Amino acid sequence: MTPLSSCLLLSSLLFSVGFAGVLMRRNAILILIGIELMLNAANLNFIAFWRYGSAPEALTGVMFVIFSIGVAAAEAAVGLALIISIYRHRKTTQIDRMNSMRG
Amino acid sequence: MNLTPSISSLTVVPLVGALAVLALGSNRKLARGVALAFAFLALLVTLLLWHHFNSASGTLQFEEVHAWIPALGVQYHVGADGLSLLMLLLSTLIVPMSMAASWHIQEKPSLYFALILLLEAGLIGTFTALNFFHWFLFWELSLIPAFFLIRLWGGSQRATAATQFFLYTMVGSVTLLLSFLALFLYTGIFDFITLGELARSGHLLQSLAATSHGTAATADRFALLLCLGALLGFAVKVPIVPFHTWLPATYAEAPTGITMLLTGTMSKMGLYGLIRILLPIFYLQMRSMRTPLLWLAVATVVLSAYAALVQKDLKRIFAYSSINHLGYCLLGIFSILKFTGDDPALLSEKAAALSGVFLQMFNHGLTAATLFWFVALLEKRSGGLRGLNDFGGLRKVAPVFCGLMGIALFSSLGLPGLNGFIGEFLIFKGVFPLAGWAASLSTLGLLLTAIFLLGIMQRVFAGPLNPSFAHMPDLTTAERLSLFPALALMVTLGIYPQLVLGVINSTVLHLVQQIR
Amino acid sequence: MLFTIFAALTVAGAVAAISLRNLVHSVLSLILAFAGLAAVYLLLGAQFIGFAQILVYVGAVAILIVFTILLTRNDGTFGHSSQASWNLGALIVIAVFGTLAWAIHSSTALHHAPPPQPEATMQQIGTALMVRFALPLEVIGLLLTAALIGAATIALHEKQERP
Amino acid sequence: MTWIVRNLWLIPALPALAAGLSALAKRHQRRFSASLAIGAMGLSFLLSLCAFSQVMLAIAHGQASRQVVNFPWFQFGDQWLKLGWMLDPLTAIMLVMVTFVGLLIFIYSTGYMAHDDNFTRFFCFLSLFAAAMLGVVIANSLLLLFMCWELVGLTSYLLIGFWYHKPSAAAAAKKAFITTRIGDLAFLVGMLWLFSQAGTLLFYDQGAGCLEHSALTAMVAHLTSIGMAASTGIALLIFAGAVGKSGQVPLHVWLPDAMEGPTPVSALIHAATMVAAGVFLVARVYPLMAAHSDTASVITATTALQVVTWIGAITAVFAALIAVAQNDIKRILAYSTVSQLGYMMMGLGVGGVAVGMFHLITHAFFKSLLFMGAGSVIHGCQEEQDIRRMGGLSKLMPITFATYAVGMLALCGFPLFFSGFWSKDAILHAAMGWSISRVPFYLGSLGALLTAFYMTRQVYYVFFGTSRLASHNEVAPATHAPHSTSATPHESPSNMTVPLVLLATCAILLGAIGTPAWPWFDSFLSGESPVFAFAGFLEHGILPVMLTSTLIVFLGLALGWWFYGRKPILSADRPDALEQLHPGIFHVLQNKFYVDELYEHTVIRWNSALATFSDWLDRWVWNGVVMSVSNLVLGLSWLARSTDTYLVNTSFDEGCHTVTTSGKLLARLQSGRTQSYLRMVGIAFAALVLVLIWSARS
């Protein structure tokens, strides 16, 4: 097994775990945690492809991850703020109660 | 400073006006004021065009050509010769008159006036376009506002009338469109001027024969079919008997201001089409049908005059009278189809007939519109009554009204000294040597016109005063002033027709040279 | 070998984070997973990213989550989804992982020798950020500012609009 | 070219201007309007005298007596249509006659119309008429002549219908216009034919005019398909116009009805000038009428002139017969006018321009005199027009009586002292020598007899005996104005009698210019200097004709006296003396030979039948075709609608139902729960990856 494929395997494991959290837990905070995990899995992919890719000196993967971290930070901040706001109104963080958009 | 305006700018003026009137909303006074201002602006631009027109040249002037849809041979091609210019002047003249006649309209005035301006744009476009595609666009554009104006503001039978009007003209338009599409398929050309040149050089028939893999005979038959299709479109619009039954109903039911437009300008669209489009392109086919066409023209003149004799509604009488007057134009147009070769005397007769047709188109527009205007004034005073026997002795209470309407009636009757005479004289002068029997038969129409027009004067103006109109007001100063230009023009043209003939003469010669 | 240890650490932290009932424990496990991942980054030669990972995720995001947990403490309803939906979720997750793993496994593009360790010094990264990626940097700065303001606005205690 | 020729247009233009100005005048500006009209007419009269003396001078100096001014009017094709005016003896004499008679009638009208509400309008119309009539006279273009001719018809229409509130006046006006228009249309066709043959409508244009030699030769040579020379056809068509305007048989029916107009109008238009315009037209185009090929061996009267003669002769007798049995004072004069116009036509046909025109001029004076006298009588008798209800007026209205008697004797052709004698004699003499037939002469003589008879009858009824006006008023006071019971007939004011006296003078003196001894009129028209010679009386056949006609006149007068003068007429309600003699014939005559009824039952009825037919055609045939087509379309559309309703719609409804159901199912997916969406994303993601890999493999 090459290092790249093991990295990718780790990444996919991480992604699946995060996805499982998103799908199988009802608490909004835990879902957010799951999302963070999925993002990290993606970041790992970028770094792995940068490391074993064809033109590492261009630093593209690194840069992508830097911006991705920035976006993830922003996302976490806004997401958590939303959770707090919703909690104030509904007194709950249970995601399956938030279904007012039902078709 | 170069003040030469362009035809495009003339077309745009009423369009902008229509939008402006709509945008200004429902304020009645503002709407009609703005509409009238734009109508006058269009008139002014037309007068400028008239001023800059080189009357020594019979070819098209103020030409503008822009590529539009090159793949379909569609160009924006406009231009004006004497005929177009005359029709433009007529349209821009009738529109303010029509607005003045509908000055006190109550229902949705801004929409009403905007539609009139839209109609004017359609007319201007029709009279200047030289490419079938956008000519047809404008031709139909003028139909839609007319339909709505009749449908929304008409009399009690307006729905039927509007539908009849629309269907009739649509059927005509469809056959016209089919003919020209076929022509386009076989030649790839939409441009009237080019098509006319092709027809004169004989290439049109050749390409019809070549593309349809037929012999010369089938090409001839096919060309005749195309000609008939196009002719039907114009025949309905003019109208030619027996395609005229929509007209009396429509004229009677339309609001009178719109009837002025219908008779003054829209009926000229048909004649204009005949002269501008059908004559140069299909003259060979038309020539082969010359005798039946002349019979139709005579029937138009005589039957419509007879039908007018028994009508009881003033608007219906004038409607039939309109058909009758346009019949003389048809007579002139069809008679010049005669093959004359290069005989200068007969060419001169053709020129006389065609000059007469042009003049008659203008005169009829002016006179008929004015007559309907008088009916509108009468309706306003009588609360909608306009039957021949509803009045009586009006001269006693409204002498000025009767006097001025009398002038218009006598102009319509063709009294020398007023505009109607010169046109009719020139037509008869030209037609007589070309088709003597048709001219002689048609003089019957002149007699019948006199009978029913004098009948109107006898029943409405003379006799004992109908007591229910004992307090009918005479024309107000404003009405007299607004009527004055039309009547003054009638007298002026009657005494000095060179005013118009000088401008159209070269165009007439050019056309006559084309159709030998 | 080192990679395997850190990878196992990371996965274990992640699994714990999403499966523990106590949210605070979950966050602590999450920190473990983040740290493990940072170590993997270091192993892969991306020092800057590794440290950024620790600073941002462990230092900022995890703390933020803790604060949120504290603010929404008295919720009381923890736990998993209903049994059916749990089963369905598990099935889907397994399917996703299966396809991903199968794809990685079956891919032929991955079987080539690892290239030499690339250079990724701080100076190089700084130059790239300031020169080639100057505009994205500006944009991400703007985004962070907007997110800051937005988060503050959303989370602020609303005034009673109607008495 | 002299000043007067260049400015000849002023003669019609001045009255036209006056008409225009008084059209703008207010209703109460009576004096302004009248003085404007009379002033303009007076100026025109002076100018006409100038023109007349100019022609006289030219003749005396042996210069060309015809001068023309042509000008371009408008262009068509590559040529210009030209109009023009001319001054020749014919024009000059007509100008003087029209302006003089017109002036007198204008003055007379100020008295006759003094109490009318529309006084200003009346003078406006009269001036317009004068302008148009003078235009007819000076025109050097058939087109200009035709235009003025039509305008004359218009003013005639307006003036006949002047009292528009009377339905009979309105109907008469319409009848007049339309009947003359029938003739005018033939005239128009003739004019068009002439135009196409000659290429011009100018009468004289330095050799290129349509009445000049080259054009005439061409037209004579040009034969139509029925073998008639073009010139004949044209001349006959133009003559049809003259028939309409001059009230010749068969288009005479409008002229008696035209008496509905005010009496000055009848005098001016329907006696002196307009109706004479037809005669003038024939005289004007006489070269065309008389055009014959130079090669013809025996020069006989042309077909056109024969037609003119016969129509004239028949009209002369026909109208005179009707006049015998009429009771309306103006209608008698109207039929007399028709009859005299027939004489003029006959004179033109048999004797040429001078003969016809001489009678035209003398007739203009004495007939307008008679009409104005009749007007004076009517005015004096409170608008009574029935001669049976008059009587005894000779004492009450002496001036009117005296002048009327002069006019009556002139009309009858009383020998030697009255102008009518000389002019009628000239016609009879010419008819006597006509090469075709002697019948016109006999017809003319019969007409003269009848004329003398009916005029005597009229004078006896009106002026002699005792007044029957009062007795009538006692019988039926309600039908006539009540105020007239106290008033007796009275003499008219001086502005009415002075013109009468002047005209009477002319009616006597004018005979002097056309006696056989001094045929000034004849030579003036042909542009020669007159010669005075008593030998003229001794020419072949003149004295016998004079004697014959003298006898005839005396016979007529005597017959009149026998029937009406012997015993005074006592009662208005007693039958007429002739009626007692033979009621059947009298009734036929009284009903004008039933010509109106004939037209009513033929032409007019056919016309209205055609109109109804045309309307029927419109409503049922043309519209029927359209309606059946549209019904067909409606049927098709009904079919289409049924198909739609029962086939398409049903299946469509089913489809809709399915869609709704499936939509409901699908809506369940839209649970609003994030996690369920994410599940979907997960499945889709897995599927997508599988598909991508699988497609990359294959």
Please tell me which residue of chain C has the smallest CA distance to D691.
Answer: C99
Minimal Cα distance from C98: which residue of D?
Answer: D686
Q: Which of D227, D193, D228 lies closest to D210, judged by CA? A: D193
Q: What is the pLDDT of residues B49-80, one digit of tens each?
A: 998 888 888 888 888 888 888 777 788 888 89
Q: Is the pLDDT of residue C126 over 90?
A: no
Contact B266, B95 (CB under 8 A): no
8 A C-beta contact, residue D80 and residue D72 = yes
In D, which residues are within 8 Å of C91 by CB distance? none
| % of chain B beyond a pLDDT of 70 | 98
D positions 194-233 inside 8 Å of B (CB): 195-196, 199
What pLDDT score does B259 carry?
A: 92
Q: Can you give the CATH number for the domain in which C40 is found?
A: 1.20.120.1200
Residue B138 has pLDDT above 70, yes or no: yes
> Given an 8 Å threshold on Cβ–Cβ distance, is D670 in contact with A102?
yes
Residue C5 in this model has a pLDDT that exceeds 50 = yes
Terminal-residue alpha carbon distance, chain B:
42
Contact assignment for D151 to B417 by CB distance below 8 Å: yes
- The range of the structural domain enclosing residue C40 comes to 1-73
In angstroms, rounded to a whole number, what is the distance separating the alpha carbons of residues A15 and A25? 15
Q: How many CB atoms lie within 10 A of CB B488?
A: 10
pLDDT of residue D475: 41
Rounded to 5 degrees, φ, ψ at B389 are: -100, 10
With 90 as the cut, is the pLDDT of residue B195 above it? no
Determine the average pLDDT of the residues in C4-10.
Answer: 91
Chain C residues near residue D695 by CB distance under 8 angstroms: none
Residue D676's closest chain A neighbor by CA? A23
Give start and end residues of each alpha helix (H) in D86-223.
89-112, 119-138, 142-160, 167-198, 213-221
Closest Cα in chain D to B245: D623
The one-letter code for the residue type at B499 is L
What whole-number distance in Å separates Cα of residue B404 and Cα of residue B488?
Answer: 11
In the block, tokens 């049976």 appear at: D388
Q: Does C144 touch chain D (CB under 8 A)?
A: no
Using a CB–CB cutoff of 8 Å, tell me whether C32 touches chain A.
no
- Of the CA atoms within 13 Å of residue B109, those in its CB half-sphere come to 19
**Residue D575 near chain A (CB below 8 Å):** no
Q: How far apart are CA D365 and CA D97, in angstroms?
A: 8
Give the ranges where B79-215 is alpha helix by DSSP (H): 82-101, 109-128, 132-153, 158-187, 192-201, 203-211
* Among B325, B460, B335, CA closest to B390: B460
User: Could you tell me if D667 lies within 8 Å of chain A, comparing CB atoms?
Assistant: yes
- Given B168, B429, B444, which is nearest D192 (Cβ)? B429
Q: Is residue C86 part of a domain?
A: no
- Helix ranges (DSSP H) in chain C: 2-19, 23-43, 47-53, 62-71, 83-106, 122-130, 134-155
Nearest CB neighbour to A101, from listed D669, D672, D678: D672
Residue of C57, C92, C100 with shortest CB distance to A23: C92
**pLDDT at B3 (0 to 100):** 59
Q: In this structure, are residues D154 and D136 in contact, taking their beta carbons and an 8 Å threshold?
A: no
Gap between the Cα atoms of D285 and D305, Å rounded: 11
Q: Which amino acid appears at position C121 of this protein?
A: T
Pairing state of beta strands B61-69 and D67-76? unpaired
Select the more confidently predicted residue: D144 or B216.
Answer: D144
DSSP H/E element including D74: strand D67-76
- Examine residue C163 and state whether it is found in any structural domain, yes or no: no
CA torsion sign, B355 to B358 to B363 to B364? positive
Closest of D119, D118, D147, D116 to residue D131, by C-alpha: D147
CB contact under 8 A, D173 and B458: yes
pLDDT, averaged across chain B: 88
Task: Give C9-43 pLDDT, tens digit per residue.
Answer: 999 999 999 888 888 888 899 999 999 999 999 88
Check CB contact of C121 with chain A, cutoff 8 Å. Answer: no
Q: Tokens for D369, please give them.
A: 């005199």
Distance CA A36, CA C30 (A): 9
D671/A99 touch (CB, cutoff 8 Å), yes or no: yes
- Bridge partner residues of C80 (DSSP): A25
Q: Across the interface, do A50 and C118 touch by the CB < 8 Å criterion?
A: yes
Touching chains, C (3+ CB pairs < 8 A): A, D
For tokens 């008389």, what's the residue? D290
HSE of D378, CA atoms in CB hemisphere, 13 A: 23
Compute CA B285 distance to the chain's CA centroid, rounded to the nearest angstrom: 24
Q: Are B450 and D178 in contact (CB under 8 A)?
A: yes
**Distance in angstroms (rounded) separating the CA atoms of residues B264 and B317:** 15
CATH topology of domain A26-95: Helix Hairpins (1.10.287)
Sequence-ordered list of residues with C-beta below 8 angstroms from that of D40, at least 6 positions apart, any chain: D14, D15, D17, D18, D127
Is residue A103 predicted with pLDDT exceeding 60?
Answer: no
Q: How many CB pairs under 8 A join A and C?
A: 229
pLDDT of residue D28: 83
Please, which residues have CB within 8 angstroms of residue B269's CB and are 6 or more apart in sequence? B123, B126, B127, B139, B142, B237
- Which pLDDT value is given to residue D483? 43
Residue B57 CA to residue D379 CA, distance in Å, equals 65
Domain finish residue from C58, C73, C88: C73
Is residue C128 assigned to a domain? yes
| HSE-up of residue C36 (Cα within 13 Å, Cβ side) | 26
ipTM: 0.67
Task: State residue C81's pLDDT score.
Answer: 60
Q: Chains B, C in contact: 3+ Cβ pairs under 8 A?
A: no
Which residue type occupies D227?
G
Does the pLDDT of residue B412 top 50, yes or no?
yes
- Do C68 and C126 belong together in one domain? no
Contacts of C81 in chain D (CB under 8 A): 675
The pTM score is: 0.77
The structural domain count of chain C equals 2
A86 in reach of chain C (CB within 8 A) = no
End-to-end CA distance of chain D: 114
| Of B408, B153, B130, B392, the residue nearest B272 (C-alpha) | B130
B462 and D177 in contact by Cβ < 8 A? no
Q: What is the 3-state secondary structure (H, E, C) of D600-662?
A: HHHHHHHHHHHHHHHHHHHHHHHHHHHHHHHHHHHHHHHHHHHHHHHHHHHHHHHHHHHHHHH
Last-in-domain residue among C54, C73, C92: C73
Q: Which residues of chain D have pLDDT under 50?
A: 297, 472-486
Question: Subunits touching D (CB < 8 Å, at least 3 pairs)?
Answer: A, B, C
Q: Alpha-carbon distance D379 to B242, whole Å?
A: 56
